[in-house]
């Protein structure tokens, strides 16, 4: 979601001159995005506590299953009237969503949530840097790499290699998620495409989850916690973000999303007791700064391009 600003967005909100009341109202969508970030990261922390009961992949399958059920009931997407290309986009989007969640939860099973999210956010950051093609973004990329190097204790010996690889893979899938989320949004009204893609993701993960956890997935306590994880990590954040994006510029949204590694570190501390060292905290700060810088520079470049086009 970090590179959401790279995708063309409606500018109706920006075209209206804000008055004093609008300045006060502008705080509302910011609060929605921050609430969504808190929800998804604390949901991730809760998922970690569920892994001893159902395994990482079992938790993913339950989370996606419950989220798909809720979204299908709420959105009631039409199944007819869509082209083969529409369904192809949904299938790929669902597969990407399944892979993103599976890889990320595998990383959470092996390393603290704060560093895992920090590595994951490199995927959207890379997408933002590459889509901008400005020399300044090389600075942001180097800053992010410095943060990752510091996160690894200067030699990556403090990070679980498999956990780090899973987190980086989840980041690559996050970048793909951004691309196919935009494509799906252009082909389906409201959140219909998201609901259908969530069903695809849930169906893809169901046999994997059963193979990983088996009958443990049917334990009532496990089902209850998994439903809570689905609401916190999927349903509530997606709803809040959709509401926020009705009035919040995409660039502002992307900058706020850059704070997710910090929120994840806080969730890890409060829920899981995962305290970070000073160097790890500084590393997360460097990646956040790089993410914000990349988004801001891309936004300025896009704004400059529109100005030049208008003056031509």
Each residue of 161-211: pLDDT tens digit? 899 999 999 999 988 988 888 888 889 988 899 999 999 999 999 999 999
Mean pLDDT for all residues in the chain: 80
**Res 148: pLDDT:** 74
Q: Please, what's the largest Cα pairwise distance for the chain?
A: 66
Handedness of CA 201, 206, 212, 215 (dihedral sign): positive
**Count of residues for the chain?**
312
**Res 13: pLDDT:** 35
Most confident option among 129-143, 226-240, 247-261: 226-240
pLDDT digits (tens, 9 = 90+) for 266-304: 899 899 998 888 888 888 888 888 777 766 665 565 555
**In this structure, are residues 120 and 171 in contact, taking their beta carbons and an 8 Å threshold?**
yes
pLDDT > 90 in the chain, percent: 37
**Res 299: pLDDT:** 59
CA–centroid distance for 271 within its chain? 20
Tell me the pLDDT band of 22, cut-offs 50, 70 and 90: very low
Burial of 48 (0-12, 13-18, 19+ CB in 10 A): buried
pTM reported for the whole predicted model: 0.78
**Res 297: pLDDT:** 66
CA atoms within 13 A on the CB side of 235: 20
CA atoms within 13 A on the CB side of 188: 30
- Whole-angstrom Cα distance, residue 284 to residue 280? 6
């Amino acid at each position: 979601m970090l590179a959401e600003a790279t995708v063309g967005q409606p500018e109706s909100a920006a075209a209206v001159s804000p008055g004093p009341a609008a300045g006060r109202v502008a705080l509302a969508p910011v609060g929605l995005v921050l609430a969504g970030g808190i929800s998804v990261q604390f949901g991730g922390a809760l998922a970690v506590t569920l892994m001893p009961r159902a395994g990482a992949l079992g938790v993913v399958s339950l989370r996606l299953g419950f989220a798909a059920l809720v979204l299908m009931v709420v959105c009631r997407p039409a199944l007819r009237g869509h082209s083969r290309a529409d369904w192809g986009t949904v299938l790929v989007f669902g597969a990407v969503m399944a892979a993103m969640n599976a890889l990320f939860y595998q990383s959470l099973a092996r390393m603290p949530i704060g560093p895992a999210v920090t590595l994951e956010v490199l995927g959207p950051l890379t997408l933002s840097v590459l889509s901008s093609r400005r020399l300044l973004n090389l600075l942001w990329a180097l800053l992010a790499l410095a943060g990752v190097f510091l996160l690894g204790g200067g030699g990556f010996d403090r990070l679980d290699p498999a956990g780090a690889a899973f987190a980086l893979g989840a980041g690559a899938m996050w970048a793909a998620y951004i691309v196919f989320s935009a494509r799906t949004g252009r082909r389906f009204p409201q959140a219909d495409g998201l609901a259908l893609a969530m069903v695809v993701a849930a169906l893809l993960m169901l046999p994997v989850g059963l193979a990983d956890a088996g009958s443990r997935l049917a334990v009532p306590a496990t089902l209850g916690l998994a439903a809570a994880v689905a609401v916190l990590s999927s349903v509530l954040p997606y709803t809040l973000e959709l509401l926020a994006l009705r009035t919040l510029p995409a660039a502002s949204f992307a900058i706020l999303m850059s704070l997710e590694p910090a929120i994840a570190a806080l969730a890890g501390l409060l829920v899981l007791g995962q305290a970070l060292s000073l160097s790890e905290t500084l590393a997360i700060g460097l990646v956040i700064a790089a993410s914000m810088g990349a988004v801001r520079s891309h936004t300025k470049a896009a704004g400059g391009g529109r100005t030049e086009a208008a003056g031509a």
